[in-house]
Amino acid sequence: MKQIEGGITAVSGVRAAGVHAGIKAAEAKDVALIVTDVPATAAGVFTKNSVTAAPVIVCREHLSDGRAQAVIVNSGNANACTGEVGMANARRMAAATAEQLGIDANLVCVSSTGVIGQQLPMDKIENGIQAAAGVLSTEGGSDAAEAIMTTDTHPKSVAVEIEIGGTQVRIGGIAKGSGMIAPNMATMLSYLTTDAKINAETLQAALNRVVDDTYNLLTVDTDRSTNDTVLILATGCADNAEIVKPDGEDYEAFCDGLLFVCTELVKMLARDGEGATKLVEVVVKRARNRDDAEKAARAVAESPLVKTAVFANDANWGRIMMAIGKSGAEFDPYQVDVCLADYQLVKAGMDARYDEDKATGLFAQDPVRITIDLRAGDAEITMWTCDYSYDYIRINADYRT
Amino acid sequence: MKQIEGGITAVSGVRAAGVHAGIKAAEAKDVALIVTDVPATAAGVFTKNSVTAAPVIVCREHLSDGRAQAVIVNSGNANACTGEVGMANARRMAAATAEQLGIDANLVCVSSTGVIGQQLPMDKIENGIQAAAGVLSTEGGSDAAEAIMTTDTHPKSVAVEIEIGGTQVRIGGIAKGSGMIAPNMATMLSYLTTDAKINAETLQAALNRVVDDTYNLLTVDTDRSTNDTVLILATGCADNAEIVKPDGEDYEAFCDGLLFVCTELVKMLARDGEGATKLVEVVVKRARNRDDAEKAARAVAESPLVKTAVFANDANWGRIMMAIGKSGAEFDPYQVDVCLADYQLVKAGMDARYDEDKATGLFAQDPVRITIDLRAGDAEITMWTCDYSYDYIRINADYRT
């Protein structure tokens, strides 16, 4: 596996663009368009929030046949809590994109991120779609990565070249995370491309598997958006033998590549979480089962008291013990070991007589890795999060400034 | 029902004391002792955290016969994650108290709150117990309320006089909340007294019922301590006919009084949450059932994005919709109404065209009440929380300062 430049447009058969359409107040790009030369096999995973934004509903509908040729995204307005007008606008975004590209509207996926509860400025959106269609290029991946940002501090893009059955296959991805435009919550969007030949069912299986181990193990502030979306488009331009079922060597090689791309994007998202100063990896080892491992890791990764301690370089292991204790995971407290990097803080549930200065120094490592050994089974999981700083409050308390 | 002065010692047959024993660094009271003249019927509710502190284990054991005559509490050290030495120290606290009072150790309840993972300074504790026993008085409730504090900004104490079957009965209570001494998490402790004649089983039933509607609906930062404890001691000094089963008029009158005392204490705890500038009541109406009501209310009350918006006086209803959407409660988003105080922000899931300045002004009301009508059934619940301010980060990031 080799990491390469170019993000989503490193993949053959993919063009992209990002333009400024005036939806955001600032002079920033706010409409992204991703297009494949031919209809791609496609798969998606969407927010489980029952207050679902209109574009998510339309996107899920258009993906139901496992095919897509374009993704249109706007930032600056989430088109959520917008009723029937919002649904009509989401459909209009797909239709306007389809008209520009001369394809069927059913082949267009739609996403929005930004303010909740306001109607989309459709004239600006339509002008933006036209402008984006006019500048589509095989170098446009980075513009698209920029156009999906809200208050992310930088665009997030990854690509790899892998080998499947002796032939080169590429996988690229972009994502936006935990920035916001008041009044809004963080929306996580990610778009992945590949030139692998792979059928729609297998692509969906691979995406589900990788999302469970990456995006679903990312937590910035426990809040789940109305608009979260991960999409993958496979152009089939590579020369691999088509992957037609979710097992075997080729499938595993594809999943490995996809896992790498998604893991890198998730780390970028956590590191750029609102007000974050650090990327934090919470590893839970030897849990009774995966469910317990995730419960324990999530309780630590979402604990405000743990996250403020990490911000303060405070090896506050009592808070970690508290968090796993409240998680619902089954374990014997006096069997638990906790390490910061490879340095032991807790031995058999009690103070390991560690050196406070040395522990404080380990918070300078990137990422800050907290490993919790439950000695209750053989399940292991890694979750990604960030610390809680003053800036988290500043960013989320500042209103329309 | 009439609110009266005196807290736990407003109740006949109860004496209390709070002294400085040197466990906390500052010159503050850190040992509290509550004693009843005769063995009281007693009931308790304890943390569900599986990392359970030693005093909680001992206290639960000593309460198993439904009787108690004393409660000994220290602040400054939680005696949690302290292994067998910690267990022996918790037992020694009970024994030393029993020796001072000339009663059986089994009649002594034990609590600790403060630093996790360090052994108790037993010489200071024993001196403190002796000193407290020497100054027990029927005016000592406020000293006890002070001695259980960690970084609470003020002591919390309530008492009421109610009528049960034509006779006067009193109920008093003290509590400590969401302050902390690094490295520790917030521990919630509350001690209640009454002179009602009531048997142990009925007292436990009343306590369980009231705790479910008060302490269990309080959330400051989602973290649950290793030491949380609510105890009630009933001296039986009042003249009411003994309440012997959990139904009937007398039982309901007792529960009403207990509910009032606990609700007031819970509001004080929320208002004094770490860094809190506001008490926030989240009311969910017309949920499908109680479980759904609690899920929706908890998701709003625990959402960092909602809490920072409240801090900023920002009527950010999109975040409220997001929070109830992620809660798992069942409802139709386009049936939901949301009010701030009595002012409607959301009508049928969309912007109610409210006035932004008027909404901002309503954040000055105390408490800030957010009412969410789900139109999905007839269950209703109220949860209490506070906002998230810069000071939450400051308090929890400052390390041993």
Query: Are the beta carbons of B340 and B295 closer than 8 angstroms?
Result: no
Among candidate residues B55, B9, B270, B17, the one with its CA nearest the CA of residue B147: B17
What 3-state DSSP class applies to B315?
coil
Higher pLDDT, B177 or A378: A378
Structure token digits, residue A357: 């200065």
How long is chain A? 401
Are B195 and B290 in contact by the 8 Å Cβ rule? The answer is no
Q: What per-residue confidence (pLDDT) applies to A181?
A: 30
d(CA B118, CA B78): 8
Check A117 against B331: CB less than 8 A apart.
no
Question: What proportions of chain B, in percent to the nearest 5, are helix, strand and coil?
Answer: 35, 30, 35
Minimal C-alpha gap between B226 and chain A (Å)? 6
- Does residue B184 come out as left (phi exceeding 0), alpha (psi in the -120 to 50 range) or beta? beta
With CA atoms as reference, the chain B residue closest to A311 would be: B397
pLDDT tens column, A105-162: 999 999 998 877 889 999 999 999 999 999 999 999 999 999 998 777 889 899 999 9
pLDDT per residue as tens digits for the range A277-310: 889 999 999 999 999 999 999 989 888 888 888 9
Q: What is the pLDDT of residues B92-130, one digit of tens each?
A: 999 999 999 999 999 999 999 887 788 999 999 999 999
The pLDDT, as a whole number, for residue B115 is 78
Angle, helices B317-326 vs B304-311, to 10°: value is 160
Q: What confidence tens digit (pLDDT) does each residue in B28-43 have? A: 999 999 999 999 999 9
Given an 8 Å threshold on Cβ–Cβ distance, is A223 in contact with B302? no
Asked if residue A378 has pLDDT above 60, the reply is yes
Confidence of residue A5 (pLDDT cuts 50, 70, 90): very high
Cα Rg of chain A, angstroms: 22
pLDDT at A222: 60
Spans in chain B with pLDDT lower than 70: 178-187, 219-225, 392, 394-401
Helix axes A304-311, A317-326, angle to 10 degrees: 160
pLDDT at res. B182: 32
Q: What is the pLDDT of residue B395?
A: 66
Residue in B with minimal Cα distance to A350: B81
Most B-contacting residue of A332, A356, A388, A396 (CB-CB within 10 A), to test interface: A396
Token couple for B122: 């037993």
- The helix (H) or strand (E) run that includes residue B356 is helix B356-362
pLDDT at A187: 64
Q: What is the pLDDT of residue A399?
A: 39
For residue A323, the chain B residues in CB contact (below 8 A) are 223
Q: Which residue has the tokens 């208002």?
A: B271
Q: Which residues of B are catalytic?
A: 187
Q: How far is B349 from chain A (nearest CA, A)?
A: 6
Structure confidence at residue B146 (pLDDT): 94
User: In the 8-state DSSP scheme, what is residue B17?
Assistant: E
pLDDT in tens, A354-372: 999 999 999 988 899 999 9
Which residues of A7-92 form beta strands (DSSP E)? Answer: 14-19, 31-46, 67-77
- Give the CA distances from residue B313 to residues A33, B12, B364, B389, in Å, rounded to whole numbers and listed in that order: 37, 45, 8, 12
Are A182 and B349 inside 8 Å of each other by CB?
A: no
Dist CA A202 CA B373 (whole Å): 43
Q: What whole-number percentage of chain A has pLDDT above 90?
A: 56
Would you state the pLDDT for residue A273? 75
Q: Looking at residue A119, what is its pLDDT? A: 94
Asked if residue B134 lies in contact with residue B107, where contact means CB atoms within 8 angstroms, the answer is: no
CB proximity list for A123: less than 8 A, separation 6 or greater:
none
Q: Which residues of A are catalytic?
A: 187
DSSP structure class, residue A4: -
* Residue (of B276, B289, B265, B295) closest to B385 by Cα position: B276
Burial class (CB in 10 A: 0-12, 13-18, 19+), A159: buried
Q: Which of B145, B144, B127, B126 is nearest to B136 (CA)?
A: B144
Please state, in angstroms and rounded to a whole number, the distance separating the CA atoms of residues B109 and A275. Answer: 44
Q: How far apart are CA A92 and CA A390, in angstroms?
A: 41
What local confidence, expressed as pLDDT, does residue B150 receive? 79
- Cα gap A329→B80, rounded to integer Å: 19
Q: What per-residue confidence (pLDDT) applies to B360?
A: 92
Q: Which of A98-102, A226-230, B313-317, B391-395 has the lowest mean pLDDT?
A: B391-395
pLDDT at A100: 98
Please tell me which of the candidates B309, B351, B393 has its beta carbon nearest to residue A308: B393
Name the minimum distance, in Å, from the CA of B184 to any CA of chain A: 6
A397 against A196, higher pLDDT: A196
Is residue A222 within 8 A of residue A181, CB to CB? The reply is no
Substitution target from A393, A395, A399, A400 for chain B, most B beta carbons within 10 A = A393
Helix (H) or strand (E) holding A89, with range, is helix A83-101
CA angle A199, A201, A207 (to 5 degrees): 100
* pLDDT at residue B397, rounded to an integer: 65
Q: Which two tokens stand for residue A130?
A: 């036209």
Specify the amino acid at residue A152: D
Mean per-residue pLDDT of chain A? 88
Instruction: Dump pLDDT digits (tens) for A14-70.
Output: 999 999 999 987 789 999 999 999 999 999 888 777 778 899 999 999 999 999 999
Quickly state the pLDDT bin for A396 (edges 50, 70, 90): low
Residue A250, pLDDT > 80, answer yes
CB A80 to CB B318 under 8 A? yes
Close Cβ partners of A154 (under 8 Å, ≥ 6 residues apart) = A272
Give B49's contacts in chain A (Cβ within 8 Å): 322, 325-326
Query: Secondary structure of B327-366 in the HEC alphabet?
Result: CCCCCCHHHCEEEECCEEEEECCEECCCCHHHHHHHCCCC
Determine contact, residues B274/B176, Cβ cutoff 8 Å. Answer: no
User: What per-residue confidence (pLDDT) applies to A59?
Assistant: 94
Instruction: For residue B50, give how far its alpha carbon lies from the nearest alpha carbon of chain A (Å).
Output: 5
**Contact between residue B374 and residue B338 where contact means Cβ atoms under 8 Å apart:** no
Chosen for mutation from A47, A48, A50 (greatest number of chain B CBs closer than 10 Å) is A50
Please say whether the beta carbons of B93 and B68 come within 8 A: no
